[in-house]
Structure 1
């Protein structure tokens, strides 16, 4: 199945999961904690099940890796050249704090590269998607769809950062820019803000996993941006260790002003 024909089906699947997530979001849900002390709710598990079941029906030949089903041996994963990468709810802290800035993320990875991504923000009633060679798009809260691209360089760099993970290393990175504006956003929406031209760079000098970034990385790439490690290498997927190295997601400003 070609990427353009996959996108609407994956968007429909993400919308179905988002609908269930939003229903739980409006209730007095219980918060549990994993062994690493990260929060998990019934919404995470429900979204996981809807997406995994949907993908297995849609593309039974493509394996699936989800945050809530990540205990797949490396011996098996190492053979995957193409796989689905899911975060049923990215930004569970935003979910439990009821900020609205959490997302449902679905990405298709091919040879280490995210080639298709869908990101929905259930509480904001927004959706972003993009695929390699086809561009990136946003559906706003009124249902309007528009093509999105990264912004052209301006005099001030707009740095998007996490409300929950603004550590000292990130502050030091941001301080390098003389003329700067801080744009705060939760979950994978930080990538999407760059993709739609509302921010310029997102430095992540803290831990993330592949499923946290894959879908929004695909959207940003399709919008003309990129995601690189601190040594300038492309951020890759399908590694034995699912933890990402530190990275910088960027649009045209960072690419032209900093890297020349």
Structure 2
């Protein structure tokens, strides 16, 4: 089954339904638990997960679901190498801080590559959608979707560097020194990648831990907007090995000719 605009619209609507459930909880008191890795968990994570899992099961395109909130229920990709990759609430720390920088992430992976991605920030009422053959788009409020694309960094201007709001990296200062004049733009959740996709930033170096579901949907948005998400080895960030859910370090680039190996020489 090919990816259609109808399928992308259906996944976008599903992410927004999950976002509505998240916002209902966001507007009142809620308890915070902690997983074994000490990462926070709220009832909003579970509520969004159930809405998305039920919704994906109703789509014409059937594929297994790997969700952060149900890793045990995932048996692997299907015979076509496809699976849905879901983070029902990316940026739980931002949710708890109530700063609005959290998202719903839904991606379709095919042979290790994200071919459809939806990122929705319910508190900001801002969404990003992308799919192979369809391009990348941003929606704000009730406005019509607007096509987005990366742009080359302008020589002589400071680099616009996205940094994590809640997760610093000990190697980042050294990289920034090599990069030269720059402006650091703090942001939470997968919105960091989307800033590069919409040309609101030039580069996002991630020199700290992330999981597959943190990046899959937003990587699709970046790539369909003309950008690159690359491991420090030079290989694209891949989703083929679901037995290892942690990503390697990576860079999100708004242009393909950045001399990124020199940053780590």
- TM bucket (normalised to shorter chain) is over 0.9
Choose which of 245, 248, 258 in structure 1 pairs with 2:248: 245
Q: Partners of 2:183 and 2:8 in 1: how far apart?
A: 34
Instruction: Give the SS at the match of 1:149.
Output: coil
Q: Which residue of 2 aligns with 1:147?
A: 147
Q: Which residue of 2 aligns with 1:133?
A: 133
Maintained 8 Å contact 2:131/2:224: yes
The count of residues paired between Structure 1 and Structure 2 equals 256
* Aligned-pair CA distance for 1:142: 4.2
Which aligned pairs between 1:195-214 and structure 2 lie closer than 5 A? Answer: 195-214=197-216
Q: Partners of 1:167 and 1:247 in 2: how far apart?
A: 12
* Aligned-pair CA distance for 1:113: 0.1
Choose which of 184, 187, 194 in structure 2 pairs with 1:185: 187
Gaps of 5+ in 2: none
* Aligned-pair CA distance for 1:166: 1.8
Maintained 8 Å contact 2:149/2:226: yes
Q: Partners of 2:28 and 2:215 in 1: how far apart?
A: 28
How high is the TM-score relative to the length of structure 1? Answer: 0.94
Choose which of 202, 216, 225 in structure 1 pairs with 2:227: 225
Structure 1 or 2: more helix by fraction: 1
Residue 66 of structure 2 corresponds to residue 65 of structure 1: yes
Maintained 8 Å contact 2:64/2:77: no
Maintained 8 Å contact 1:77/1:238: no
Q: Which residue of 1 aligns with 2:111?
A: 111
Q: Partners of 2:36 and 2:78 in 1: how far apart?
A: 28
- Following TM superposition, the consecutive aligned residue runs of length 4 or more in structure 1 with deviations greater than 3 angstroms are none
Q: Which residue of 1 aligns with 2:52?
A: 51
* Aligned-pair CA distance for 1:19: 0.6
Which aligned pairs between 1:168-183 and structure 2 lie closer than 5 A? Answer: 168-183=170-185
Q: Partners of 1:63 and 1:233 in 2: how far apart?
A: 26
Instruction: Give the SS at the match of 1:207.
Output: coil
Maintained 8 Å contact 1:151/1:198: no
* Aligned-pair CA distance for 1:156: 2.1
